[in-house]
Amino acid sequence: METKIWKIRGEGTDLAKLSEAAELLKAGEVIAFPTETVYGLGANALDEKAVEKIFLAKGRPGDNPLIVHICSVDNVRQLASDIPEKAIKIMEVFWPGPLTLVLPKAEIIPDIVTAGLDTVGIRFPSHPVAIKLIELAKCPIAAPSANLSGKPSPTTAEHVWQDLNGKIAGIVDGGKANVGVESTVLDVTGSVPVILRPGGITREQLESVIGEVKLDAVLHDLDAVPRAPGMKYTHYSPEADVYILKGSTREKVDKIMNILESSKGKGIGIMASQELIGALPKDLPENVLTKVLGSEHDLETITANLFDTLRWFDQKKVEVIYGESFPDNNIGAALMNRLIKAAGGKTI
């Protein structure tokens, strides 16, 4: 299949190009599009056959539910059978934005979207191109991240192209996704809301609006059974082996120097803050590539660059990637969740 690309830039959302993409969505095709978190792989959420194509293109297991994207708060009423008080408050404050609410599902949503669950994840993204596309398609859009299953999520159209060229009808290229990790998934079906996946909206931000918010056990206990089905799968895995580097800056530098000493000639990637990379010797051997993620004082930027950097090291064909560990509060919770998964928990 030929994969079309529509390049959209600037303030205007280029109606003619988006209309073409929207027509394909209406016709039951699958289209990748930019959101503020990562690129999504969308299909009409009410069309079972169209949604099936998402699972096929990604190689996604059928028990991993999709998030349904909408372009107005009012759309929730059609998709959820009940909307608790706290959910209404959260939607008022955080939508549009990088937050998915898990709500009781309405009949109208096909089982394939929710992997047979009686709940549905719903999100109103803030990216103007995503909003316009959903408006033009005139239907809710089911969309997981637009990567092959298991790979780092795409933060540019180029990443989507690498994974899905020839497998989908088109890609709307809206530039770089600026949050760079997926939405926070918040289950609001119980009395205390539970974060099933940390993301762009932090626990601290949520608690400042609705009081206590719990973290799903799986986020701090590796043996717990996840309540968000997709959380059990290998995720964000580049070809290279990934390890997380812990400790003070001094300890991290010492660990890196020991690693380099014992891995002569092996392709090594180091992704870290500018502060840590600045503390390394300037004359590192040729087999060692370093990539600055951002300043350690700006975890938003570090988070936004994570997936792109994992993919960059794969293109450079390094064998092992060492990623710096960061504090796991605020946006650091999402950052460390993705890094730990990319590393399969391996830490040094």
Residues that bind ligand AMP (CB under 6 A): 64-65, 67, 102, 114, 117, 119-121, 144-145, 182, 185, 196-197, 228-231
Taking the complex as a whole, how short is the minimal distance between the CB of residue 37 and ligand AMP, in angstroms? 8
By C-beta, is 102 or 177 nearer to ligand AMP? 102
Determine phi and psi for 121, rounding to 5 degrees. Answer: -90, 125
By C-beta, is 91 or 292 nearer to ligand AMP? 91
156 touches Mg ion by CB under 5 A: no
By C-beta, is 144 or 180 nearer to Mg ion? 144
| CB of 177 closer than 8 Å to CB of 156 | yes
Pairing outcome for strands 99-104 and 119-123: antiparallel
By C-beta, is 195 or 268 nearer to ligand AMP? 195
35 touches Mg ion by CB under 5 A: no
| CB of 157 closer than 8 Å to CB of 173 | yes
Helix (H, G, I), strand (E, B) or coil at 141: strand
Taking the complex as a whole, how short is the minimal distance between the CB of residue 16 and ligand AMP, in angstroms? 28
Pick the stretch among 12-20, 144-152, 185-193, 248-256 that binds Mg ion (CB under 5 A): 144-152
Taking the complex as a whole, how short is the minimal distance between the CB of residue 288 and Mg ion, in angstroms? 30
Choose the one of Mg ion, ligand AMP, none that binds residue 344, judging by a C-beta under 5 to 8 angstroms depending on kind: none
By C-beta, is 35 or 202 nearer to ligand AMP? 35
Q: Which residues are paired to 41 by β-bridges? A: 32
By C-beta, is 103 or 157 nearer to ligand AMP? 103
Pairing outcome for strands 40-44 and 99-104: unpaired
By C-beta, is 126 or 145 nearer to Mg ion? 145
By C-beta, is 117 or 348 nearer to ligand AMP? 117
How far is residue 263's CA from residue 125's CA, in Å, rounded to a whole number?
44
DSSP secondary structure letter of residue 73:
G
Taking the complex as a whole, how short is the minimal distance between the CB of residue 114 and ligand AMP, in angstroms? 5
For residue 177, give the nearest of 16, 11, 304, 295 by alpha carbon. Answer: 304
Choose the one of Mg ion, ligand AMP, none that binds residue 67, judging by a C-beta under 5 to 8 angstroms depending on kind: ligand AMP
Distance of alpha carbon 273 from the chain centroid:
21
237 touches Mg ion by CB under 5 A: no
User: Which residues lie closer than 8 Å to 257 by C-beta, 6 or more apart?
Assistant: 281
Taking the complex as a whole, how short is the minimal distance between the CB of residue 71 and ligand AMP, in angstroms? 17
Taking the complex as a whole, how short is the minimal distance between the CB of residue 203 and ligand AMP, in angstroms? 17
Choose the one of ligand AMP, Mg ion, none that binds residue 87, judging by a C-beta under 5 to 8 angstroms depending on kind: none
CB half-sphere exposure, 20, CA atoms < 13 A: 14
Taking the complex as a whole, how short is the minimal distance between the CB of residue 108 and ligand AMP, in angstroms? 15
Question: Which residues, 5 to 24, sit near Mg ion by CB under 5 A?
Answer: none
145 touches Mg ion by CB under 5 A: yes
Q: Please provide the DSSP assignment of 173-241 as one string.
A: E-S--SS-SPPEEEE-SSSS-EEEE--SS-HHHHHHHHS--EEPGGGT-TTSPPSSGGGGS--S--SSE
Taking the complex as a whole, how short is the minimal distance between the CB of residue 302 and ligand AMP, in angstroms? 20
| CB of 207 closer than 8 Å to CB of 189 | no
The CA dihedral of 214, 203, 60, 31, to the nearest 10 degrees, is 140
| CB of 185 closer than 8 Å to CB of 196 | yes
By C-beta, is 143 or 169 nearer to ligand AMP? 143
Question: Angle between the 85-94 and 203-210 helix axes, to the nearest 10 degrees?
Answer: 120
Taking the complex as a whole, how short is the minimal distance between the CB of residue 38 and Mg ion, in angstroms? 8
Choose the one of Mg ion, ligand AMP, none that binds residue 185, judging by a C-beta under 5 to 8 angstroms depending on kind: ligand AMP
State the residues that interact with Mg ion by CB under 5 A.
Answer: 144-145
